[in-house]
Structure 1
Amino acid sequence: MRLSELVSCIPFYEWKGPTSDPIIHSISHHHKSVKQGTLFIALKGEKRDGRDFIQQAVLNGAAAVLCDIELSLSIPVIQVKNSRHALAQITNLFYGYPSYKMNVIGITGTNGKTTVSHMIQSIVDYAGEKTGVIGTLYMKQGAQTKTSINTTPDSLLLQQTLSDFLAHNVTTSIIEVSSHGLAQGRLFGCDIDIAVFTNLTQDHLDYHGTMDHYRWSKSLLFSQLGHNHFMDLPKFAIVNDDDPFSEMIRQATSAHIISYGLNERSDVYASKITYGRHSTAFTAHTPIGTINIKIPVVGVFNVYNALASIAATFAKRIPLSAIAEGLKNMQSVPGRFEIVEANQPFTIIVDYAHTPDSLENVLQAIVKMRAGRTFVVVGCGGDRDKTKRPLMAKVACGYGTDVIFTADNPRSEDPADIIKDMEEGVPGHNYSVILDRKEAIAYAISQAKEDDVILIAGKGHEKVQIIGNDLIPFDDKEVAFELVKGAF
């Protein structure tokens, strides 16, 4: 594709330098991946500024550069006002607008995005479609899995991935949409058909600064949903009726709204909920009838996740019988209320719960299933929202009988300082402090007896612990499994 054709999707820009019109074979915003025929798009990141590497990109063979500063180079320079917006528009054109050629479901909210994405995938797969999933755990279609760097990839990787999905005959893509991704415009130009809202509680204030900005960022998915009301291509907003933020979404979107919740005023709601040790059953009520649902996960928060999935797939006109079967047969989600089995006489659960609300949801579910003590191994991430640290500690001590504060991903902070912040929320409470995460898990295992439950919270599916700038191999599930094998 010629450079002039590629930038034709940008309404305003300045072409500087040579007027030659090179053929663009690839697009990159990282100078190390630039080769002959690459359009290098220079972006200012949170830690590094791509504009500092423009000369290196030219030496590596860049055919042209797009940036938001004035430059004089030996190759064409496309100067724009907003490089990130231009990246989204150009990559969409370069890869042939893949999102417009498939059904796309976007899921946003503080908690539940990963579980809802897997529930929807299980339902859609059962209904006979081929799915692709983009989210916190991975980017996956069929047997092909790629590691995710961010929950929502940048515009370039997103369009590359959707294009690859399309080439593999994916008909429905399911995308976890983060507040960072929305605020940074990573989904600009992406045609979302169904947008799902799970819930909103405090998180990411280190980035957003205020809850108002966090809420605004989440609402963008729904305000950008489009104004398409054609009968064959309707847009839907799926909202949690029991979360106050849903009212803001209703005001922000022009799409059709389907609500869900635990009350009869919702379009999709649950009744007759029963909780087992490893499963939950309920009756789902929808605008076209009722059906009995059984999901292989526990907790009221997973009832909400299932209702969101039912509403989204109902919007896709999947029969209720297929929805029920898809949910019943869903696979466990790594790091989400994941049980460690090593023939121990007590229960060990690994969960990604890293916000006060998600930790409380998990602990409430544990309280309903356990007969003995509840051990909580928990910490908080470094270089992240400090205001939630005392709240996390308060939740842990409010539900746990034996609480152990430990390191999570301390990053550049001292783990001891992080725990001091946590301790401010629990004056007068009993808890232990063991900074080394493996030692903390080992201590809980050594103390647990039959019918007790150990919750290892905060890291879930993660395979490394971030200490300083180092990524140290560490998997909560594997560590717990090996410790139990050594103890029993």
Structure 2
Amino acid sequence: MGENKMKLEKLLERMDYKVLAGSTDIEISTLVYDSRKVEKASVFVCISGAVSDAHDFIPDVVKKGAAAVVVEKDVTPIEGVTYIKVDNTRLALACMSAAYFDYPAEKIKTIGITGTKGKTTTTYMVKSILESAGIKTGLIGTIESICGDKRIPSANTTPESYRVQELFKEMVDEGLDAVVMEVSSQALMLHRVSGFTFDIGVFTNLEPDHIGEHEHKDFADYMHCKSLLFRQCRLGIFNGDDEHLEGVMKGHTCQVETYGYKSTNNLIAENVELKKEHGALGVKYHVSGLLDFDVEVNVPGKFSVYNSLTAIAICHHFNVDKKAIGEALHHVSVKGRIEIVPVTKRYTLMIDYAHNAMALESLLTTLKEYEPGRLVCLFGCGGNRAKSRRYEMGEVSSRLADLTVVTSDNPRDEEPMDIINDILQGVHKADGEYVTIPDRKEAIRYCMENAKDGDIIVLAGKGHEDYQEIKGVKHHMDERELIADIIKENPDIRL
């Protein structure tokens, strides 16, 4: 980025600040918030983090040649360096990043999706519908960011503000028309998506999740953070059935549109039916209100109705015709989210990311509605994580599934059998049948070789992950490849 010479005052043009020392009429080379990346003529933004406070590194970055620092605390200026004081350096970083990359969000349609569940699946649905209509769409989310043919694995649900703006810029340069992104409440709280206005903001639903010492202090705070999106978007699209709708809409400045089952919504799902045929599961329903057509989605469960309805509500604003929307939804699938792996028409095999009790309960309850011959649930739990998760998942699976197959997930530094024994304590609290097979491939083979007609088998916990972490080393392991190997070793399994 070194060639990106610009004046400091250009970076500050849309924000409130005080100059404590020096001048804003200076040339800047790079905009940096990580002290290790400072070079000559950088401007360094001091973020006060949970672990360390960048204000403490000012002497180091000045030695490295930083020309300016942006602070939110009172510090004693060092001679020859420009000091800019702001109320909030995270907000300043977002505004300066937008300016640094020349306001890319104004050159592309931006869609931000927030909510407890459904964000990931909905972003992929939107991307797939828009692309099928010839609207080139980028994606920023929990699993990865996608820009044209480039896929970048993600560290957080929503990246740091500088990275968000950098991705927007790459997408504009790549000639994309739109970008759909997952927006966590953390990101709203930490100003990662500040400094621009979304064209469309979306609220999927709200459940008491992510409340704890490192995240939100209580439910009211979590709800407040979600509501911030609707003070920085032009159009807000809301799940009108959610009991927290009013709280999330509080203080909104956007146009409002709602979707859901209730007839008071602008877009309504009617005549919902569960669809089960030849090892495939899905939902069918009729959309009425703003649009009028039939929808079929090959992803099971009532929440599939919500996710697809959300996607329809968004894509409607891009003037995509009903036929294209219906066609795209019919073929959409998201890696590791109730992903059905076609093996045979006798039973259904799927991979899902559910890796805590709440997600597993919701998944198994959904699948029971399809009245399977048997519901078989294979899972393990990660090592070096709370033991309570193991007991809870064991109990949920034993209570809801007909057969629980306990195996290994990412043991990390623990012994796989110790983790399995913890899970079994939970399994014994309910009365489901169970077997223990520590080797994950052998556990999957057991499920496939012993499957009965009409079974639904779910491999839970890994989802989109393609590795297994053992003693600090990540070994390649993709469940789709394991399934293919098992079929290769025993082709009769497909009959």
The two structures share one fold, judged by TM-score above 0.5? yes
**Paired residue for 1:6, among 5, 11, 20?**
11
Question: Could you give the per-residue CA deviations for residues 333-373 of structure 1, whole angstroms, max 9, x where no partner exists?
Answer: 11111233466965431112245454334324433556433
Aligned residues: 477
**1:304 maps to 2:276:** no
**1:456 maps to 2:455:** no
- Higher relative contact order structure (alpha carbons within 8 Å, sequence separation ≥ 6): 1
- Partner secondary structure for residue 327 of structure 1: helix
Query: Does the Cα contact within 8 Å between 1:280 and 1:298 map onto a contact in 2?
Result: yes
Question: Could you give the per-residue CA deviations for residues 362-407 of structure 1, whole angstroms, max 9, x where no partner exists?
Answer: 3244335564332212355678788776654443233211224555
Query: Does the Cα contact within 8 Å between 2:373 and 2:454 map onto a contact in 1?
Result: yes
**For residue 253 of structure 1, what is the aligned residue in structure 2?**
252
Distance change in 2, residues 1:346/1:324 (3 Å): closer
**Paired residue for 1:30, among 13, 28, 34?**
34
- Give the Cα–Cα distance (whole angstroms) in 1 for the partners of residues 57 and 300 of structure 2: 50
Listed as ranges, the matches of 1:78-93 within 5 Å are 78-93=84-99
Q: Flag structure 1 segments of 5+ consecutive residues without an equivalent.
A: 227-234
- Give the Cα–Cα distance (whole angstroms) in 1 for the partners of residues 413 and 20 of structure 2: 42
Which stretch of the first structure deviates more once superposed, 188-197 or 302-311?
188-197
- Give the Cα–Cα distance (whole angstroms) in 2 for the partners of residues 381 and 306 of structure 1: 31
**For residue 219 of structure 1, what is the aligned residue in structure 2?**
227
Question: Could you give the per-residue CA deviations for residues 89-118 of structure 1, whole angstroms, max 9, x where no partner exists?
Answer: 111121222223332111111221111111
**For residue 41 of structure 1, what is the aligned residue in structure 2?**
45
**1:322 maps to 2:328:** no
1:252 shift after superposition = 4.0
- Give the Cα–Cα distance (whole angstroms) in 2 for the partners of residues 243 and 419 of structure 1: 39
- Residue 350 of structure 2 aligns with an amino acid whose one-letter code is I
1:219 shift after superposition = 2.2
Which stretch of the first structure deviates more once superposed, 426-435 or 157-166?
426-435
**For residue 264 of structure 1, what is the aligned residue in structure 2?**
263
Question: Could you give the per-residue CA deviations for residues 204-240 of structure 1, whole angstroms, max 9, x where no partner exists?
Answer: 2342243333222222222x235xxxxxxxx322222
**For residue 276 of structure 1, what is the aligned residue in structure 2?**
276
- Give the Cα–Cα distance (whole angstroms) in 2 for the partners of residues 329 and 242 of structure 1: 27
Question: Could you give the per-residue CA deviations for residues 58-97 of structure 1, whole angstroms, max 9, x where no partner exists?
Answer: 4554333333342544543434342211111111121222
- Partner secondary structure for residue 193 of structure 1: strand
Listed as ranges, the matches of 1:131-170 within 5 Å are 131-170=137-176
**1:242 maps to 2:247:** no
Distance change in 2, residues 1:54/1:362 (3 Å): same
- Residue 151 of structure 1 aligns with an amino acid whose one-letter code is T
- Residue 313 of structure 2 aligns with an amino acid whose one-letter code is A
**Paired residue for 2:112, among 102, 106, 109?**
106
**For residue 288 of structure 2, what is the aligned residue in structure 1?**
286
- Residue 189 of structure 1 aligns with an amino acid whose one-letter code is G
Distance change in 2, residues 1:305/1:181 (3 Å): same
**For residue 401 of structure 2, what is the aligned residue in structure 1?**
400
Which stretch of the first structure deviates more once superposed, 30-39 or 303-312?
30-39
- Give the Cα–Cα distance (whole angstroms) in 2 for the partners of residues 189 and 248 of structure 1: 24
- Partner secondary structure for residue 118 of structure 1: helix
**Paired residue for 2:192, among 170, 174, 186?**
186
- Residue 16 of structure 2 aligns with an amino acid whose one-letter code is P
- Give the Cα–Cα distance (whole angstroms) in 2 for the partners of residues 193 and 217 of structure 1: 19
The two structures, once aligned, show a CA RMSD in angstroms of 3.5
**Paired residue for 1:427, among 426, 429, 447?**
429
- Partner secondary structure for residue 266 of structure 1: coil
Percent of matched pairs sharing the same residue: 33
Which stretch of the first structure deviates more once superposed, 37-46 or 339-348?
339-348
Distance change in 2, residues 1:292/1:341 (3 Å): closer
Distance change in 2, residues 1:382/1:181 (3 Å): farther
1:311 shift after superposition = 1.4
**1:360 maps to 2:361:** yes
- Residue 213 of structure 1 aligns with an amino acid whose one-letter code is D
Q: Flag structure 2 segments of 5+ consecutive residues without an equivalent.
A: 1-5
Which stretch of the first structure deviates more once superposed, 39-48 or 51-60?
51-60
Query: Does the Cα contact within 8 Å between 1:260 and 1:308 map onto a contact in 2?
Result: yes
- Residue 125 of structure 1 aligns with an amino acid whose one-letter code is E
Which stretch of the first structure deviates more once superposed, 247-256 or 455-464?
247-256
1:281 shift after superposition = 5.1
- Residue 135 of structure 1 aligns with an amino acid whose one-letter code is G
Distance change in 2, residues 1:13/1:125 (3 Å): same
Q: TM-score, normalised by structure 2?
A: 0.83
1:259 shift after superposition = 1.9
Query: Does the Cα contact within 8 Å between 1:342 and 1:481 map onto a contact in 2?
Result: no
- Give the Cα–Cα distance (whole angstroms) in 1 for the partners of residues 226 and 420 of structure 2: 28
- Give the Cα–Cα distance (whole angstroms) in 1 for the partners of residues 52 and 485 of structure 2: 39
**For residue 229 of structure 1, what is the aligned residue in structure 2?**
none
**Paired residue for 1:65, among 64, 69, 73?**
69
**Paired residue for 1:174, among 168, 171, 180?**
180
Query: Does the Cα contact within 8 Å between 1:381 and 1:410 map onto a contact in 2?
Result: yes
Which stretch of the first structure deviates more once superposed, 406-415 or 477-486?
406-415
- Partner secondary structure for residue 271 of structure 2: strand
- Partner secondary structure for residue 198 of structure 2: coil
Distance change in 2, residues 1:449/1:283 (3 Å): closer
Which stretch of the first structure deviates more once superposed, 53-62 or 106-115?
53-62
Q: TM-score, normalised by structure 1?
A: 0.84
Which stretch of the first structure deviates more once superposed, 455-464 or 107-116?
455-464
